[in-house]
Amino acid sequence: METNNGTALKGKRIAVLMTDGVEQIEYTAPRTFLEEHGAQVTLLSPKEKGEQVQGFNHADKADSFEVELNVKQADPRAYDALVLPGGVSNPDQLRMSPESIDFIRSFASQDKPIAAICHGPWTLIDAGVANTRHLTSWPSLQTDLRNAGAEWSDDEVVIDGKLITSRKPDDLPAFNNALMQTMLVNPIDADIGPSS
């Protein structure tokens, strides 16, 4: 595993798409991990820039986080990967946001890495990304994902092409590592030539 701590993801831009009800650790742990490896992370939301997103620790209110960019103003081409944290009401609200679903769909059509954890994969159904894909999620979503045409399995992390999914906060180390490895072998880099 080639990970020069602090520099492995230097120059990479990651979008995290979320809103109220996000499972806090599924936002903070990937963000910290990605930033520690040199990536630039931006919190996108259907809310306006500067508004707060309410995080949760399971059913309890936790911290709030400032929106860095409204998803309507975000250009999917400007980002190298997309992270979709869970929490029950977060993806439920994102599914009702056409701009959020369009953003996810655009990422998938550009074949860029998408990493969704816990209830996060719910949004993949609305974006038309779940069909024929191998996924995992919080167990209560398995019927929804199967009905959308996905193959579902109860695994710590599932990687299907550039689509990475995990079940719960306990899976975060595997989830983070899978996202980083997927980004390090991103064929877009091959077009640029060898890096020093």
Decide: 100 and 77 in contact? Cβ < 8 Å: no
Pairing of strands 163-166, 157-160: antiparallel
- Written as six digits, the tokens of 45 are 């939301």
Q: Which phi and psi angles does 125 have, rounded to 5°?
A: -65, -50
Which residue out of 37, 58, 118, 134 is catalytically annotated? 118
- Catalytic residue flag (residue 119): yes
Residues marked active site are found at 118-119
